[in-house]
Amino acid sequence: MANVTVIGAQWGDEGKGKIVDWLASRADAVVRFQGGHNAGHTLVIDGTTYKLSLLPSGIVSGTLSVIGNGVVLDPWALKDEVEKLEGQGVTITDDNLAIADNCPLILPIHRDLDGLREAAAGSGKIGTTGRGIGPAYEDKVGRRAIRVCDLAYLDDLGPQLDRLCAHHDALRAGFDQPPVDREALLADLREIAPFVLGYAQPVWKRLKKVRKAGAKILFEGAQGVLLDIDHGTYPFVTSSNTVSGTAAAGSGLGPNATGYVLGIVKAYTTRVGSGPFPTELDDEIGKGLGERGHEFGTVTGRQRRVGWFDAVIVRQSCAISGVTGIALTKIDVLDGLEEVKICTGYRLRNNVYDYFPSHAADQVAVEPIYETMDGWSESTAGARSFADLPANAVKYIQRIQELIETPVALVSTSPERDDTILMRDPFMD
């Protein structure tokens, strides 16, 4: 049996939460390996909705859930999320939640800096969630970060605080802000430390034991490939690598552990915030898709931009992330349309492109080349077998499969866990 790595193959918000939850019920461990609490996953189980930002999706089903070292951890956001889920009847203990002791922390000063930068950026805004993700990653690579393991040695934190504050005080001065209040920061850390340390451990060691026992591990990615710091629509990207290869470095297991790569793909395209979007719809069709698809960010509540399916960017994402098969979500949102369109290429300065160029100016300037297909009036909602789908919906799925050069493994037909058509089992492939 294979382990499975799940990544988003568009700009995030592809419906990873439901698919990961569906897979997590059959896995022995679920691992978050990058990002932070800017990632929003919504699960609907037996009519109950669970909204997760930081915790791995397996936590709701009681599966061992691991926050890997590649994640940046806001300990206060973690505490709030744990308490909220416990209020919904979810049991969370150190038996089913483990946090990497070498995981870097998001601090209040990171949230401050994030907000100050965005407010001052004017037309150059990136569209961040304002939760301190980027500044925390900057401190990690700048070797200034305070990590989970440091919470057990706060009396010895002086030299690290010197490095951290020297950097942040200079930045804060540029925004006419006072220096970091070191005593207040230490007081906050002392208060939260016992809670976080209760889950902290060398998770690479625990995962090695799980793997050695032959158990199935599910690696849960956040955001999407087009938000990857290297391969996304730079600079309108997140601050981590979102591609499948990050699962190895961000969990402490080697690349041979990541197994089957499942790319989650929405049956149309959405993105939140600023940045290029070749197939964006600013008409009634786009508005209708957004309303039917409830396209609002789980974390921010911001309305998502909506457009036709872009086979070019998904094919590119699948190639970059070595996707084995895709899970196609929200096919039911397209029900009732007379016709549906798929972007098959771009025109740019009288040339035709079969890939998304790297330069931001070119990404904004490309014009989509569309292929139009007949829509379907029948409902796909709740279908649990391929035979239950309308003929034109089947043709649409088959055409997507051809254009992205990657097979469809799963089709999701509603937010409910069991409304899933299984064509290829990632755990058995």
Annotated catalytic sites, by residue?
13, 41
Q: Please provide residue 237's backbone torsions phi and psi, each rounded to the nearest 5 degrees.
A: -135, 175
Helix (H) or strand (E) holding 116: helix 108-121
Spatial CA neighbour of 313 closest among 409, 220, 228: 228
Q: For residue 90, what are its two tokens?
A: 């979810």
Q: C-alpha distances in angstroms, 145 versus 151, 152, 251, 328, 384?
A: 12, 15, 18, 38, 47
List Cβ neighbours of 263 (8 Å cut-off, separation of 6 or more).
7, 8, 9, 225, 314, 317, 318, 321, 323, 325, 326, 327, 406
Q: How many CA atoms lie within 13 A of 274 on its CB side?
A: 14
DSSP string of 300-316, one letter each residue: T-PBPEEE-EEHHHHHH
Q: C-alpha distances in angstroms, 149 versus 35, 79, 105?
A: 19, 17, 10
Burial of 335 from C-beta contacts in 10 A (0-12 / 13-18 / 19+): middle
Sign of the CA dihedral 41, 341, 406, 242? Answer: negative
Question: What count of other Cβ atoms lies within 10 Å of the Cβ of residue 121?
Answer: 13
Spatial CA neighbour of 345 closest among 366, 364, 369, 365: 369
Spatial CA neighbour of 258 closest among 68, 424, 412, 57: 68
